[in-house]
Amino acid sequence: MADEKLHFGTCTLCEAMCGIEVKYSGEKVLSIKGDKNDPFSKGYICPKATALQDLYEDPDRLRQPVERTANGWQEISWPEAFDKVAEGIQKLQKKYGANALGIYLGNPNVHNMGSMLTTKHLLTSLKSRSRFSATSIDQLPHHIVCMHLFGHMLRIPVPDVNRTQHMLIIGGNPLASNGSIMTAPNMRQKIKDIKARNGKVVVIDPRRTETAELSSEHHFIRPATDVLLLLAMLNEIYAQGFDKLNNRAATLAPEIAQIERFAKGFTAESVAGITGISATEIKRLVKEYCEADSAVMYGRMGVSVQEFGLLCQYLIMVMNIVTGRLDEVGGLMFPNPAVDLVNNTGPGYLAKRFTRVKKLPDFNGDYPVVAMADEMLVEGEGQVKGFINVAGNPVLSTPNGDKLDKALAQLEFMVSVDPMINETSRHAHIILPPVSPLERDHYDLTFNGFAVHNTAKYAPALFAKKANEKHDWEITLELAKRLNKNAPMATKIERWLTKVLGPKFLLGQGLKRGPYPQVNLKTLKKNPHGIDLGPLQSMLPQGLKHKDNKIHLNVDFYQADLERVKEMMKQYNDSQILLIGRRHVRSNNSWMHNSQRLVKGKSRCTLMLHPETAKQQGIENGQSVNVTSKVGSVTIEAEITDELMPGVVSIPHGFGHGRKGIKQKVAQANAGVSVNDLTDDSLIDSLSGNAAVNGVPVRLAIASVQAAS
């Protein structure tokens, strides 16, 4: 085409921040490729990036607000929608109190510059403490550990994968996730590079994942026993004399001497039987990790979302410290992003308030999602009667989704800020749809803070939104204006400036306060591929946010949880079949499944199980199997594979599109089942309130239809 043009931007569909080159003509996307001149991703993209076109063109995507009526969904104007939402919220809160309105923020919010910079206005205007977010089914343990140790919930160190000689990955699959709390595009190449420089990558996981397949070695571990392995490894570090307490990070930790006794008694021999990893192998893993010239230990979702998720992440951090791997090249290092959220946000806090029903602690104002359904269903003062859901699908993404489904159905008033009618938003009385990613400006405020190399990149919107469409930040500001008319003058001025100039105005302010004087909005616009700010550098002690510039190990807080660990060891039942989730590179939660190019091919929503487990249960490949947990049951096709260790089964996250009333044709045609109809909202990491969705006990049975035939 004669009028073909190129646009350079950033893919926002996962954490990797891959640079994209979009060829377009008019309002039509012709192709999406990796941007070879992007200094961070260097031309790499995964299959998800091409789905940006699908999200933009999706015929099921809402462009106008809709209201649920007796005759189905009806389009209404934006002014009418805003009026009805504001009236509904005010009426409900006047009747039941401010906290009767619950709020849930889904993880797409952190992939969205407009949401990140303006959601505070909505939260402030709602004046409700009944706040929930995807944090407590994901990375909450990382935040709490880093708040305790380094003084801020976002001061999170990441593996220096570009320079390490030895990487130990526990419960992570960065080939599928492109990194997670480790923004790292093209992890396949990064792992190959480690091996090419005579380094080693070791993966510990109940499944031989894509990452494990490429690694130097892989060890199966019984789900949710990682805490025992980590305690034994910490014990072995001291037993083998590999503690280096004169290293720079350790000398900044006054409590470091207490760590030697922390794991006393948790020997490699004592945990081998439960974990499934022999004492000999545990000792060798420790020796090789400690003897490497540079090394890093990294644990992610597999260790976070289990009953000892917080203690696991603490032990990983402590082992990086006592072996001299924190804040060192090739170890665990702190990114230094151009917009410094650490110095411009509060440090976070744990347990200022507790949920009404389960008495679970809040973190930085968010209650754990495992408490959400009970807060709606259990009657009494403070019961959640209304709900506003922003960019989330908790019916599919939080534990005991069927219970939450029922809870949402009986609410008096609900609003969703979402472009689709999905499993959660179908319960809303009004849906306010924001534009697609290609129609909004982008700068990665969150994931530059987790990046394995420092860069900065601003990407203006490719397409202008239509006159009858709204940005998410416009929706947020309009609701805040109507709900909080008596806001302080400074807040009103900020809202007005943001409305007139867009969130890039706030981005510009953030860049001015950042650590790179040469990086501002003007220079970023002149460099559409991004600016290289160099490899990770040492940040201690200046990077610490405690007033004394020390690392606070909070030993007593974490050591108290060891009694719970000992009780688990005593009661451990190795005859149970345990359920774990899994992720695919073509998927990121439930919002990827209405793209035909991402779901095409053989169904990925299968029950993976080991041949030995299948034989014991009399299950054949391809059979329909009933999987039952304490809270629910699903029927799913069996996929027999030695990828999993015996006694473990796996169902992928984000499916379950067979519920009535959703309006996503492709997703419905590839419905699958929701693993969160099996996960148990009473399985919790009690130290943090985080959901424990890995290691759920289940029973298997051949589906009765096939059994009868």
The structure tokens 């709606």 sit at 376
Q: Can you give the CATH number for the domain in which 683 is found?
A: 2.40.40.20
**Could you give the angle at the alpha carbon of 101 between the alpha carbons of 304 and 418, nearest 5°?**
70
Interatomic CA distance for residues 426 and 429, integer angstroms: 8
Is 488 part of a structural domain of the chain? no
Whether residue 603 is contained in a domain is answered as: yes
Task: Provide the terminal-to-terminal Cα distance of the chain, rounded to the nearest Å.
Answer: 58
Q: What is the model's pLDDT at position 1? A: 58
Q: Residue 328's domain is classified under what CATH number?
A: 3.40.228.10
385 found inside a domain? no
Asked if the structure places residue 420 within a domain, the reply is: no
Whether residue 496 lies inside any domain: the answer is: no
Last residue of a domain, which of 536, 559, 582? 559
Kindly state whether residue 239 falls inside one of the protein's structural domains.
Answer: yes
Q: What is the DSSP letter of 590?
A: B
User: Which of 559, 589, 605 lies at the terminal end of a domain, its last residue?
Assistant: 559
- Domain stop point among 507, 534, 559: 559
- For the question of whether the overall pTM of this predicted structure is more than 0.95, the answer is yes
Phi and psi at residue 269, in whole multiples of 5°? -65, -35
Q: Is 597 part of any domain? A: yes
Q: What is the mean pLDDT of each run of 10 residues along the chain (709 residues)?
A: 88 95 96 98 94 95 97 97 98 98 95 95 96 96 98 98 98 92 96 98 98 98 98 98 95 97 97 98 98 98 96 98 98 98 95 96 97 97 97 96 98 98 98 97 97 98 95 97 94 93 95 96 98 98 97 98 97 96 80 88 93 97 98 98 98 95 95 97 96 97 64
Tokens of 588: 């990121």
84 in helix, strand or coil?
A: helix
Cβ partners under 8 Å of residue 407, min gap 6? 372, 373, 376, 377
Domain that holds residue 159: 140-337+554-559
The burial of 627, by beta-carbon neighbours within 10 Å (0-12 exposed, 13-18 middle, 19 or more buried), is given as: buried
How many domains would you assign to the chain?
2
Do the bridges between strand 350-354 and strand 361-363 make them parallel or antiparallel, or are there none, so unpaired? antiparallel
pLDDT score for 603: 87
Q: Is residue 546 part of a domain?
A: no
Distance CA 437, CA 55 (A): 8
